[in-house]
């Protein structure tokens, strides 16, 4: 079993829809939870990170962490065609720079105009 | 891409040949990482560096070596390329104590025939 599981999609939604992207994990030591966005043939870019449990909002994006269920989510409101990309979740046990990030396989999202 | 360049961007090579990929940063970040990205596996850490001449292994280090003689450059070498090393390789950088804020380069697409 992988430490981090992510539905690969693809997920296709109409413009303006609310999108929900999810990851589950098995390592209860994870404390930092990240979402990266990757456009086709580009490197991943950090969207948001959350420490421990709770919600974090940034514009149209909301990240949620439920440590009791070992489940994290990224919600995108009012989705736009420019949101079409692969979304990767990532996690680490502690925040030190030598601590390794564990990535999900990514979910491919297509927002149809 | 946060002042990170990778070279070459594309390479086709034959099995058994040595290959060196270069990552160059202009951000003066202490930490540098090499990942490979494959369908169904997501991003996996190959090696990382926490300073000049200081490197350590990641999850999938077999068949790879690295060197860092200057802060700005991190080299990844495949001593004898194999078809299983066909992949997209990403370099990433981060500042001290913030592995969750990794900034990725544009990637190198390597094909081993």
Does residue A57 surpass a pLDDT of 60? yes
Average confidence (pLDDT) over A50-76: 93
Backbone angles phi, psi at A91, to 5 degrees: -145, 155
Alpha helix ranges (H) inside chain B: none
- Contact of B5 with chain A, judged by CB distance below 8 Å, is answered with no
Nearest to A43 among B44, B45, B107 (CB): B107
Q: Determine the residue among A88, A98, A105, A107 to mutate to test chain B binding: the one whose Cβ has the most chain B Cβ atoms within 10 Å.
A: A98
Does residue A95 surpass a pLDDT of 80? no
Tokens in use for B53? Answer: 């001449």
Residues A102 and A96: their CA atoms lie apart, in Å, by: 14
Cα–Cα distance list, B35 to A55, A56, A96, A103, B65 (Å): 29, 27, 18, 11, 13
Nearest Cα neighbor of B23 from B105, B111, B109 is B105
- Contact of A14 with chain B, judged by CB distance below 8 Å, is answered with no
Nearest to A100 among B45, B98, B105 (CB): B45
DSSP count for chain B of H helices, then E strands = 0, 11
- Contact of A45 with chain B, judged by CB distance below 8 Å, is answered with yes
Does residue A98 surpass a pLDDT of 80? no
Flag residues of chain B having pLDDT under 50: none
Nearest Cα neighbor of A29 from A109, A82, A99 is A99
What does the pLDDT look like over B31-43, one tens digit per residue?
Answer: 999 999 998 888 9
């Amino acid at each position: 079993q992988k430490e981090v599981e992510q539905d690969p999609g693809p997920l296709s939604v109409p413009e303006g829809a609310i999108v929900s992207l999810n990851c589950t994990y098995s390592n209860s030591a994870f404390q930092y939870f990240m979402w990266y966005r990757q456009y086709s043939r580009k490197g991943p870019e950090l969207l948001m990170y959350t420490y421990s449990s709770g919600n974090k909002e940034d514009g149209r994006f909301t990240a949620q962490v439920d440590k009791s269920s070992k489940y994290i989510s990224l919600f995108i409101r009012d989705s736009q065609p420019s949101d079409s990309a692969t979304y990767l979740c990532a996690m680490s046990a502690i925040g030190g720079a030598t601590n390794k990030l564990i990535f999900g396989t990514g979910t491919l999202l297509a927002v149809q105009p | 891409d946060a002042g990170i360049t990778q070279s070459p961007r594309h390479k086709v090579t034959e099995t058994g040949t040595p290959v060196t990929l270069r990552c160059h940063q202009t951000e003066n970040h202490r930490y540098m990482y090499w990942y490979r990205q494959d369908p169904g596996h997501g991003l996996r850490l190959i090696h990382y560096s926490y300073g000049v001449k200081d490197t350590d292994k990641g999850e999938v280090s077999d068949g790879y070596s690295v060197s860092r003689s200057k802060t700005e450059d991190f080299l990844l070498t495949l001593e004898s390329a194999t078809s299983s090393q066909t992949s997209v390789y990403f370099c990433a950088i981060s500042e001290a104590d913030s592995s969750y804020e990794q900034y990725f380069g544009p990637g190198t697409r390597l094909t081993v025939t």
